[in-house]
Amino acid sequence: MNNRLTMIESDSTNPYKNLALENWLLDHVAEDEVILYLWQNQHTVVVGKNQNAWKECNISTLEADGGHLARRLSGGGAVYHDLGNLNFTFLAHKARYDVAKQLEVILRGLQRLGIEAEKSGRNDILVDGRKVSGNAFYEHAGRCYHHGTLLMQVDGEKMAKYLNVSKEKLQSKGVSSVKSRVLNLVEVCPTLDAENLKAAMCEAFADVYAGNPDKMALSAVDAEEWADLQARYEDWDWNFGRKFVFDNSFGQRFPWGRVDIELQIENGHVHDAQVYSDALLPDFIDALNAALPGTRYESRALAEAVKVLTVSEDAVQPKQDLAEWLSTVEC
């Protein structure tokens, strides 16, 4: 299968503009095309689609320092972006979407700079046992993207200052702090900068896909559609979510991510629900949010509401785990 390869690079460091461009590219990627999009954000915390922004980020401190909070479409955890970070996104229709191949581009790009890296689990890339890249994934209407970070020289002090990473999550990774878990690539390649990293990624993209990418100009993007999408990513309600007053809540960490469930109860039934998670399963978490209202407020009924959900293959085990756990919670 021959792929038409496209490269595009943002000239902005505005997170809302960059996420909007990513969204536009997803909406317009051609059936025979694979796109590599490179971008950088300045002074931004980006939360996963299903996360509680207030819990994951020290928002008042971030805003007082002139930073931004943004929410992406994909699942996963919160990340801090500054100009010491290069972001990448691969976009394609499902038939041409290949996570293993896309990760190979990243590994070969780093290798071109003399950096030996390895995949760890589904969504991390490590160098010397420490994380240099986190990845997340999104699919809609047969179109997919895989995006991630490459830590070149991120300000670790600010990362630790703005991100609230639970002790439970750090313990699950075998580290004592968010700073100790990550590695800046300049520590193993002192000459590294954004320009030579971008060049290495472009060369690796051509190499892995055995083709010559066409450079897409930003002028080819529909300006009105881009602006409309940017307004959506700037929207307060999208980024911070509704204020939810709950009667009961419970949470649990699983091998695939943490889930926190907040419930409003009326007349012995769930009136409303809000599910937060750092799992890489945004559709599954959205389905949970929709399934719980109307359910009897008892553990067995909550578990049954989860069991009957129709889910993708990668959510089968999480569904089972969640149902088993809910069957044991105290209501």
| pLDDT tens digits, 202-218 | 999 999 999 999 999 99
Per-residue confidence (pLDDT) for residue 180, from 0 to 100: 58
Indicate the pTM of the whole model: 0.89
Q: Any idea which architecture 4-240 has in CATH?
A: 2-Layer Sandwich (3.30)
CB 113 within 8 A of CB 197: yes
For residue range 293-318, what is the model confidence (pLDDT) as tens digits? 999 999 999 999 999 999 999 999 99
Q: How many Cα atoms within 13 Å fall on the side-chain side of residue 200?
A: 19
Nearest Cα neighbor of 299 from 265, 326, 263, 320 is 326
Q: Which helix (H) or strand (E) holds 62?
A: helix 59-64
pLDDT of residue 181: 79
Q: Where are the domains of the chain?
A: 4-240, 248-326
**Nearest-angstrom CA–CA distance, 181 and 278:** 17
**CB–CB of 297/266 below 8 Å?**
no
Greatest Cα pair distance, the chain, in angstroms, is 64
User: Is domain 248-326 annotated with CATH 1.20.1250.20?
Assistant: no
Classify the C-alpha dihedral 299-305-307-313 as positive or negative: negative
Give the residues of the chain that fall short of pLDDT 50: 169-177
Contact 10, 217 (CB under 8 A): no
